[in-house]
Each structure stands twice: as C-alpha cells, then as structure tokens.
Amino acid sequence: MKNSFLQKTLLAVFAIMLLTNCKSQSAKSSANLEVSDKLKWSERLAQTLMKKHPNAYQIDEKKEPKWDYVHGLVMSSFEQLYKKTNNQAYFDYIKGYYDSTINEDGSIPSYKLENYNIDMLAAGNALFFIYDKTKEDKYLKALQTLRSQLEKHPRTSEGGFWHKKVYPNQMWLDGLYMGSPFYAQYTSKFENGKNFDDIAKQFEVIQKHLVDPKTGLLYHGWDESKQMGWANKETGTSPNFWSRSLGWYAMALVEVLDFMPENHPKHKELVAYFNQLADALKKQQHSSGLWYQVTDQGDRKGNYLEASGSAMFAYSFAKGANKGYLPKEYKKVAEKAFDGMTKNLVKVTPEGYVIITEACAVAGLGGNPYRDGSYEYYINERKQDNDPKATGPFILAALELNK
C-alpha cells in the first residue's frame, strides 16, 4: 500500500517536473541572450521581446497562455528569423508558445470555434512550420481544428467571410490577413490547392466594395446590411482609412501570393490588387517615410505618424519587390519607411532594448463600448510601446531589407 502511494506521488512529481521543464525551455533560451547593438535590427528587437517576455505567451502583457492573432503575428516573424539565423533560441520560443496553448490531444483550450472569429486563424500561421519540424500529431490536429472553422464560418451573400459571428454581415480589411494566409497555406499543403478560388474570392469581395475611387485606398470595414451606425447608407463602408487595416490587407496579399502558384488563374488578379494598393499608399507616404494613423488626413490636428501601419507597409513593399510582385522601386519606398521608423519611432534603452513607440494599441468598429469609425475615434485610441502589431512586422521588414 505504502509502495503504491509512493509510486503515485513520484509519478505526479515527475509529471509536474516534465511540464515545468517544457514551459521553461524557451525561458532559459531567453535568459542566455544578450541584446547587442552589433546585431541587426531584427535580432535586437526579437531578443528585447524574449528578455521582457521569457515565455512567448506573455507578449502583449498576457498573464496566461492565450490563443491570439497578435502572438501569431510575432511567431511568424520569429519563424523567418529562425530560418535566416538558425538560432535554436528562436525556434524554442515559437514552440514554447504552441506548447503552452495546445494540449497533448491537439485541443486548444483558449480557442472557441463556435465564436467564428476570423482573427483566431492567424495564430496558426507559424504552426505549419513547427509541425513540419517536429511531425508531432498534436500540432496537425490543432491545424485541422482551425481549418474546420472555415467550413461553417458565416459569409456575406457573395461568399466573403464575416469578421466575427458577433459582427454579422461585416468584412474588415484586418480579416483578410487573419484568415487568408492560413487558408492558403493549408490548402497548398494538405488539399492540393483546391481552395485558391475561394481565397481569391475574399479579395474580390473586398475590392468590389471597399475601394475608394478617388484615392485608391480601402475603407477599414464594410457592412453588407448597411445597418451599422458607422456604415455609409449607400455603400455600407466605414467612414475612414486606417493605416493598420491597410497594412493587414497588404500583408494578406503578399503572404497569400507565397502559396498561390504563379500559373493559377487568380495569381495575376491578386498581384494587380497589390500594385493598385501600393500605388495608392505611396502617394500618402510622409516625407519622413512613415504613414499617418488616419492615412489620408496628413497633419490634421491629432493625427500622428503611426508605427504598426508603417512597419506593415515597409515589410509588404520590401517583400513584394523582392518577390517581383511589385516594381523594384518599392524596395526604396520600404527602405525609406524602415529608416523613418528607426530615426523617429525607435528608442534604445541603456541596456540595449529596442522600443517601438507611437503604435496604436487597438482599433475596431461597432462593439461595446461602441466605436463609430470617426476621425476622432482613431486618433484617440490608446498607444502602446512595442505593441506586437508593430514588433512583428518590424522584424519581418528588417529581414526583407537585411537591416
């Protein structure tokens, strides 16, 4: 009897030690890093994040592991950083995030499929890479769960995915990044590319309803029912252009093109959308290289040069030029943007930590408290230093530009 109790106790202690050891692997890797000014910007910022958040789930000041698109974005930047440097610490950091959020049976405790929230798919983008490297079944099951969301995800009458079940009949530019690169990677890897037409349809619906004929920019959101207070009663669009939402859209295009074969009939169409967007954005670039929070409103009172949108454009243009989707001149547009960030929005602490300032923390439409999409609304949302929507794209831009 005593032996049996002792065995059970030892097994329980062993299990706890094993779990603690798994969770602390990435934390140990973080502790051994020194943030040096001899490193390139990508690694300096990545190592700053690892020092400040030893476990990747702690990004965005989270106290518990949470399945979230902001972590997905940063993990995608760490994936590219690992591929460039082969530094095991970066791999451990990504794997640590997925091990903290995915159970051994492949379930994701903090994810609720029935919410039909398109944001949740973006957290799976770097999971393909972890599955490829480890071949662990739990990662594949998690990917399959995320993919199953799209089978019943509610859509507009033309087949565009709603942003969330709680935002009926609405598509936001953000949602194109949240769902399309995941969908494209999945259909390319596991479905022989059979759903590329459906992915292209998402962009087609956006282009049809959200492009402003005057500026070529795209509005933040569109309500097919035209019932929302923020929606134009004739077009259904929201009233303003928000740089980060345009950044999400640019990144969606450049990343989907990674997976869609060049000979696919929709490939040229997406490249054309990307060029049209790039042309419209280039006209709005400030002399510093940056873009304003409300993209077309210049130095109107309260408007400011914003970090996350600027970083997203720098990354998208650099990658677009590198891949040949955009003319070569966009590499220079991206370089100007990146240099504008390092000169105007980046601070380096005495310890060498890299801090990106002037990043809008969050912005949306509708909800409670209600967000009306007005100019005053966008300029008054809070800012957050090293917001993950700025840090992830900054690392990606630095890698594309080899800065």
Distance CA 379, CA 150 (A): 34
pLDDT band at 129 (very low <50, low <70, confident <90, very high): very high
The reported pLDDT for the residue numbered 23 is 53
pLDDT over 70 percentage in the chain: 92
Mean pLDDT of the chain: 94
The answer, yes or no, to whether residue 378 has pLDDT greater than 90, is yes
Q: What is the dihedral of CA 162, 255, 292, 278, to 10 degrees?
A: -110
Is the predicted pLDDT of residue 17 greater than 90, yes or no?
no
pLDDT band at 34 (very low <50, low <70, confident <90, very high): confident
Does the pLDDT value for residue 28 go beyond 90?
A: no
CA distance 82 to 105: 27
Gap between the Cα atoms of 80 and 89, Å rounded: 13
Contact 121, 182 (CB under 8 A): yes
Model confidence band, residue 38 (pLDDT cutoffs 50, 70, 90): confident
pLDDT value at residue 162:
98
pLDDT of residue 347: 98
Name the residue type at position 351: E
Residue 10, C-beta contacts closer than 8 angstroms, at least 6 positions apart: none
Q: How much is the pTM?
A: 0.93
- Does 319 have pLDDT greater than 50? yes
CB-based contacts of 336, cutoff 8 Å, min separation 6? 285, 289
Mean pLDDT, residues 13-42: 63
Mean local confidence (pLDDT), 80-101: 98
Mean pLDDT of the 292-321 span? 99
Q: What is the pLDDT of residues 391-402, one digit of tens each?
A: 999 999 999 999
**3-state DSSP call for residue 42?**
helix
- Predicted confidence (pLDDT) per residue in 209-221, tens digit: 999 999 999 999 9
Residue 338 has pLDDT above 70, yes or no: yes
Q: Judge whether residue 262 has pLDDT over 70.
A: yes
Q: Tell me the pLDDT tens digit for each residue of 50-76.
A: 999 999 999 999 999 999 999 999 999
What pLDDT sits at residue 92? 98
What local confidence, expressed as pLDDT, does residue 131 receive? 98
Which range among 22-26, 321-325, 327-331, 377-381 shows the weakest confidence by mean pLDDT?
22-26
**Secondary structure of residue 237 in the 3-state scheme:** strand
pLDDT given for residue 25 in this prediction? 59
137 flagged as catalytic:
no
Give the residue with greater pLDDT, 37 vs 360: 360
Amino acid 21: pLDDT: 52
Give the mean pLDDT of 20-39: 65
Q: Please tell me which residue in 174, 223, 296, 387 is annotated as part of the active site.
A: 174
